[in-house]
């Protein structure tokens, strides 16, 4: 075990964790020191994130990390923070929030998309930013704010880093999800801010993963038991960027599915693809660690299943997920498939009924049992993955011979098998905590414990040393293969 330890704060839409990472001779080692729930909340007439509660959980987790490091004879050198993308808090000069941050699932941008596109047509936006159209991209949310005078916008991980250090920065991978970053240069597209009437300094300056953002404020150090010398280091603060960095790939011929609340499906490129074909297929060019391009699509994710489970647990006893997955796996192939990518599934509530309606609208019999609903979700996700990967290969010309599934969904054996079957490609599942691993490895590299350059090579090598992956072979090699 190294004398240095790294704390990864990783908060997803449904749960958060603080993980302590160390580098051993056998590879990186991660220990979860704190876990807590998260979820959108209906507060003050809108869907929001309770960032005050989340910040309290971060402090609890960092306190646990300090104690765990001391017990292991190490010290926390630095902290990295990642969360979901696009959302932000508005802070005034004193650091106070103007209001609790909205969630990207709130429907208020329906009214502002047209306003933004009147000033900046979608073709121009795409050619410049390479960002897929999603109704919740930051620029549509900013257009819905009543006033932006006297405040700066801090993306959620940047907001948490500011609370820890007093320093305001915008981390570059997450900045690429705002719709205000130039895809080719990776710098703010000031003309777009101007065209939308946004203040030029609405966002703090950019910082690349691996750079020090600042050091702990004395009160935070005292409260958590961490040394005042503890740095907050920028990582791929967009959770998907950290997850993709930690894909344990051995060559460049891979696709990835970062599988959680969303499934982010795509390939890694050196340069963005900004043409009309790419825009029509709604592919995004988000920035990855080291300036890589995450050429991907947001496809439906386990949100559909999470929402069904939540609804069923309100109706009666806690549903047995493993039992449901087993029963779903025993159902015959060829059941109903719906468009898992549809924006109709964005908002919470009533998910089983919405899925049944979508199946009927697609000309199928509605799934009649809970197991059938689960199977319909997983078949539909696997179908969306296959479609998206065919498009990714076609549009990028990037050949693939394996699909790495990382994140929580990599534990769903049925989904992994259906993915292999529908794509005709082998699936390598794991690691589950890819996001936290990517977060830790960027910090460890900044501390000199992971080989630097070329590109992500050192990080990927360390990721391979850490990962225990499970391999799923396609049952039917004649199935449509994205590579062929
Ligand atoms: C995944 C993710 C996606 C982003 C969505 C909303 O957690 O970060 O990459 O599109 O959440 O922010």
Q: Which tens digits make up the pLDDT trace of 395-454? A: 999 999 999 999 999 999 999 999 999 999 999 999 999 999 999 999 999 999 999 978
264 lines ligand 1 (CB under 6 A): yes
434 lines ligand 1 (CB under 6 A): no
**Pairing, β 88-91 against β 75-83:** unpaired
Name the least confident of 53-57, 124-128, 473-477. 473-477
Which pLDDT does position 484 carry in this prediction?
37
Q: What's the mean pLDDT when you consider all of the chain? A: 96
pLDDT in tens, 196-218: 999 999 999 999 999 999 999 99
Sign for the CA dihedral angle at 290, 252, 408, 468 comes to negative
For residues 376 and 348, what is the distance between their CA atoms, to the nearest angstrom? 18
Ligand 1 atom closest to residue 286's alpha carbon, by position in its atom list: 9
Which pLDDT does position 476 carry in this prediction?
64
The pLDDT-based confidence of 92 (bands split at 50, 70, 90) is very high
For residues 293 and 267, what is the distance between their CA atoms, to the nearest angstrom? 8
Mutate which of 101, 104, 239, 284 for ligand 1? The one with the most ligand atoms within 8 Å of its CB, which is: 239
Q: Ligand 1: which residue has its CA nearest to atom 4?
A: 85
For residues 256 and 269, what is the distance between their CA atoms, to the nearest angstrom? 12
25 is catalytic: no
pLDDT at residue 481 is higher than 60: no
For residues 282 and 278, what is the distance between their CA atoms, to the nearest angstrom? 6
For residues 155 and 360, what is the distance between their CA atoms, to the nearest angstrom? 39
Q: How many angstroms does the Cα of residue 168 sit away from the middle of ligand 1?
A: 22
The pLDDT-based confidence of 482 (bands split at 50, 70, 90) is very low
What was the ipTM of the complex prediction?
0.98
pLDDT in tens, 120-153: 999 999 999 999 999 999 999 999 999 999 999 9
- What is the pTM for the complete model shown? 0.97
Catalytic residue among 158, 239, 341, 391: 239
Ligand 1 atom closest to residue 136's alpha carbon, by position in its atom list: 6
């Amino acid at each position: 075990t190294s004398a240095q330890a790294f704390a990864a704060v990783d908060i997803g839409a449904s749960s958060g964790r603080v993980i302590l990472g160390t580098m051993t001779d056998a590879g990186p080692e991660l220990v979860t020191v704190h876990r807590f729930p998260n979820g959108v909340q209906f507060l003050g007439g809108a869907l929001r994130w309770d960032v005050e509660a989340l910040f309290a959980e971060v402090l609890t987790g960092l306190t646990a990390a300090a104690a765990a490091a001391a017990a292991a004879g190490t010290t926390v050198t630095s902290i990295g923070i990642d969360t979901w993308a696009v959302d932000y808090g508005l802070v005034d000069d004193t650091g106070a929030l103007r209001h609790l941050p909205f969630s990207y699932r709130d429907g208020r941008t329906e009214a502002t998309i047209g306003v933004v596109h009147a000033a900046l047509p979608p073709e121009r936006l795409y050619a410049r930013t390479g960002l897929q159209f999603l109704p919740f991209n930051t620029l549509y949310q900013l257009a819905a704010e009543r006033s932006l005078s006297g405040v700066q916008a801090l993306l959620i991980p940047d907001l948490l880093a500011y609370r820890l250090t007093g320093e305001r920065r915008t981390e570059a991978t997450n900045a690429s999800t705002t719709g205000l970053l130039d895809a080719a240069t990776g710098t703010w597209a000031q003309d777009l801010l101007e065209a939308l009437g946004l203040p030029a300094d609405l966002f703090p300056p950019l910082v690349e993963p691996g750079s020090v953002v600042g050091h702990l404020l004395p009160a935070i150090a005292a409260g958590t038991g961490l040394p005042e010398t503890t740095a907050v280091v920028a990582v791929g603060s967009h959770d998907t960027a950290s997850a993709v960095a930690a894909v344990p790939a051995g060559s460049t011929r891979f696709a990835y599915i970062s599988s959680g609340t969303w499934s982010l499906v795509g390939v890694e490129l050196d340069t963005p693809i900004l043409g009309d074909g790419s825009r029509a297929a709604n592919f995004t060019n988000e920035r990855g660690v080291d300036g890589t391009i995450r050429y991907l699509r947001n496809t439906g994710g386990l949100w559909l299943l999470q929402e069904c489970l939540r609804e069923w647990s309100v109706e009666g006893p806690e549903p047995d997920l493993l039992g449901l997955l087993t029963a779903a796996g025993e159902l015959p192939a060829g059941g109903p498939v719906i468009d898992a990518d549809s924006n109709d599934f964005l908002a919470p509530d009533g998910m089983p009924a919405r899925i049944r309606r979508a199946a009927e609208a697609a000309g199928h019999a509605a799934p009649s049992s809970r197991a059938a609903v689960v199977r319909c979700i997983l078949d539909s996700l696997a179908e969306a993955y296959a479609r998206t990967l065919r498009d990714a290969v076609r549009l990028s010309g990037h050949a693939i011979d394996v699909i790495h599934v990382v994140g929580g969904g990599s534990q769903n054996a049925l989904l992994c098998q259906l993915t292999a079957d529908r794509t005709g490609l082998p699936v390598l599942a794991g690691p589950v905590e890819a996001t936290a691993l990517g977060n830790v490895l960027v910090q460890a590299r900044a501390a000199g414990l992971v080989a630097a350059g070329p590109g992500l090579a050192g990080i990927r090598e360390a990721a391979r040393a850490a990962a225990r992956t499970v391999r799923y072979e396609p049952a039917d090699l004649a199935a449509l293969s994205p590579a062929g």
